[in-house]
Structure 1
Amino acid sequence: MRQTIHRALKQEGKHVSCAELARKILKAEGLKEDSAGAILGPYLESSPHFTQDDKGRWLALEPLLKSRFLPDVTFAVVDIETTGGRPPQHRPTELAAVKVRDGKITGEYHALVNPGREIPWSVVRLTGITDAMVLDQPELTEVLPSFLDFLEDTVFVAHCANFDLHFIRYFTTEYLGREFAPPVLCTFKLAQRLLPKAGRYNLGELASFISLDDSENDRHRALGDSKTTAEIFIRFLRMLQAFGLESLEDMLDFQDVATAEAPSLAEGVSIDPATLNDLPTDRGVFRLLNEKSETVYSGKAPDIQRAVRDIFYPKNRSATKFVQKLRTVRKVVAQPLESELGMSLQAVRIRRNSKGMNGAGQVGGTGFLKISLGSQFPRAYSVNNLAVDGGAYYGPFRKQAQLRDLLGAIHAVFPLHRVQRSGKDSGGQEADSGGVVPEIPVAQYKKMIARLQRMLEGRMRRTSEDSLLAFLREAWGKKAPSPGQLKRNLGRLRHLVKNHSLSGPSVEQRNIIIVEPGGTMQRRVCYIVRGGILVDELEFERIAPPVDELAARIQAAYFGEEAQATTPGKEALEEAVVIASWLRRELIDGFVMDISPGAELEEILPALIQAVADPRAAGTSITA
């Protein structure tokens, strides 16, 4: 609507009343001024591109400035499309940039990229980029050098710039061994400063607010969005000059000025504020120690310094109450860690030995789906904790509601016996709950459980759906839902399994080797997992993996006497939950190697060493 109003006022070239404007654009003859103002006023009053005279008439403003602003600076307005939200597990599918110089677009770059992984359906729906479109496109290692050449000697500009910058910086470092540290301007931040009345600052809303017609640019495609962002940025350049800014440095400072008053140090705490400024800004874990060097509180954070400062410089009432419990803190110990898994494991180990307020509690999720394989008629039900008892465990789930929904969907498809809960027993008793379940022979029931497991583990092909439906109708017998309803129930179950990332074997069946970054990106930690339990770990320099030591550790874990089944303790089960949760949340910073049944050390070790040396292995799962 703002664009329509703007065009109409530009055509008039003079001040126009709301009633006249309504007749022109709404074809509303005879509409009174007050009524027309009630309709059009919100659009006119909230935009910086309209002005009103003392008679209440409106005029479309000319561009704020026609003079040149920073004519010798070249800006590269960048947008990328990716398979997801964080590298290296997610990768670019499209790169684009347009150059802006002296207020004009002077060049453009565009390339589709093969990400080397499946594009999630949610991303396909948003961007329109499919696996088929990128199948024959070059990989990022081939495209990235020319893209960086295009960006050379420019100011990096993007909407929500940290997202695009993080991907480009990560892969530039990992794939090319180069630094990427240009000056950065974010149009989202600039919009918040320049257009405080806009309210919403996503690209589409922002273009509409400033009456920019971007209908020719493909939304959610890299080149189209970069062109729209460039047009917005050119208008911002004019506005910035009107604010009195004279240099690039002024612009960089302008976008980052804090809009709220910084909080004060909490009263009554004993920590020396100067020590907080010396904390690393890396991600990792931290411990707050009292005068006896006992851990009072611990945590993990993407920015250690910011997280600790937020504790001692509270921003609200609840934070102020919390920090009063930390009056005995005298010292902060920080440990940078470049891996989400390393952070989570270390946080659990610190809390385990902590005497502080967060020394205990639920770890890594809110429960598991268990299939009790040891009984004649196995049941599927929820449990709070992981155990090694012959059952199959799937999870953990981040929310109880997700687990309840999945169980409901399972029982709507598979006619399973139910579990009667008993007191505090998290596993439930092996007794029927009285639900209406058809009588099924043991052999057929076990086949049904096997098919359920294949579905949960992503091993059931879509082409087998007709045979599965026929099998289920036979199992349900006379109590079966209608064919259409059963098919819909099965579709919902498949959707929930995919949505909750339930792929791969159940927790207790996982034999995997995980290699993740250590304290820095130059170090690696090898986690050896047998039967879902972390049995060994080894840290080493990335460029010099200890081949003999790794061989010995792998031999002992999977092929030696230690590989015999043992009952893990509480601490081992806690860490197993952390690893299972990490795998489901898709937070891989290194790679995961699945150890196939029958695989030998001579196959595992070379594949492992090769993957450590290959930066393209980061964020992937491989099989040995």
Structure 2
Amino acid sequence: MTTQLSFDELGTPLRDTTFVVFDLETTGGSATEDAITEIGAVKVRGGRVLGEFGTLVDPRRGIPPQVVALTGITQAMVSAAPALDAVLPAFLEFVGDAVLVAHNSGFDVGFLKAACERHGYRRPTSSVVCTVKLARRVLTRDEAPSCRLSALSALFGVAEMPNHRALTDARATVEVLHRLLERVGNQGVHSLEELLAYLPDVSPAQRRKRSLAADLPAEPGVYLFRGPSDEVLYVGTASDLRRRVRQYFTASEGRRRVREMVALAVRVDSVVCAHALEASVRELRLLTAYKPAYNRRSKNASAAWWLTLTDEAFPRLSLVRTPRPGALGPFRTRRSAENALDAVLDAVPLRACNQRIPASGGSGTPCALYGMGRCKAPCAGLQDVTDYEPAATTFRELVSGRTTAPLHDVATALEDLSAAERFEEAGTRRDRLAALIRVLDRGQRLAALAALPELVVARPDGEYGWEFAVVRHGRLASAGVARRGVAPMPVVAALVASAETVVPRPGPLFGTPPEEVALVLRWIDRPGSRLVHCDTPWASPARAAATWRSWAERAEAGRDLYRHAEH
């Protein structure tokens, strides 16, 4: 039996709740191994359709015959479709802060979250309603022996029967949702919070802690769950702090560790923020400061690996946490940095050994790389400092965007390997080159932003007002808003005057954590952004790795297609 919420806790009436009912078609059942082939979604509120979103997606791999037979989506249909990295931002924009609804939501939400992680977008934090779970809660076994979408559609006599195509199935799910909401309405469930609490598997203790959210503001910001010793257990962001925190005390929160955290929590603090960017940045800084035990991101919130040249007569590449100017990175894991090191050695004739060689040269025995023509053996005194220096210079110029010649050299070598039918070696070096291009491109874009002493950016807030960010050396120094009807430039002047003073430190990103620069850059990159002020030109290097993006995309598509064919 559910507990009736108090009047203050009723929250958003279902008739005023915006739902995005969505469906995905994929190449298989694994969110990590398979890819999305179609997205369909319908936005509804109060029984009215507000909009629809539908597109095929190029999975960049083959579609298994059994999936073609089930969905009717063929390789020819998706070959001209946009890739997921082009579709995903538009879909997330369509979803916004709406409640997500899906039939068997674990499947669709799992693919959506995996896609966000793969392409560098924040995972949706919206409430999720699963129509399968809702149907099992509402309908008897006699009435609905099966809760498959086709069975429920037949039971309710929906106008457009599902056919394993994303938009059609989403439309059918909308009708099923509405019929199920009619049923729960007869049982006294009239708000979103009541609906989420109505679903099973919520303990009385979890419900009793709803009072922790009572005094939180209905504004965007960051929330902190605190334990009995005032320790920070968990940090998160929300567009509506009160609504988001309340969701932790309903059935929509199914994560075991998070439920464990809620059981320990005795207080929830909040920090109100001007907009989503400020909330994301503050969350990142709090994760770094407190390292909460229940945040998966805590351990590596600001950690990154870099490849830098050592300071010696014959410099070699070294993996470091604190980079010096000219370092390559950032890398999220040590393994990805090690793979990039191999890729650099494919492109630049730096030595691979770790021994320290005096300026006069070594007196050892050349290693196997000397015999392969990939090293001139300074360790054996066969190369002097003057002859070695161009290799170190080439690395610095490659990282800074002053040359792409090494990339051309590796691409030419790949063609020679393919011509010699050494396909396995060619594939390995192709993948390394594609990964190197990606990290060079990302690092150069982050460095270009971090190099700016001051940048003021505006974005529309969706209600004819503006959101502002003052960015100094890639760090968010100030944030604010000018709502509709408020003159924006005085707001900008006040934000600049009160902005944090940022003193640049040595390093590729001038001391700003890579994740923060990346957050700021993604916010600026979204459609609609306007540069209000930039005290020095914001430019990319003329020979940046961005000129090789299309090559990397083709290489990755070929790799994925080959892997799928192997399976």
> Normalised by the size of structure 2, how large is the TM-score?
0.48
Larger gyration radius, structure 1 or structure 2:
1
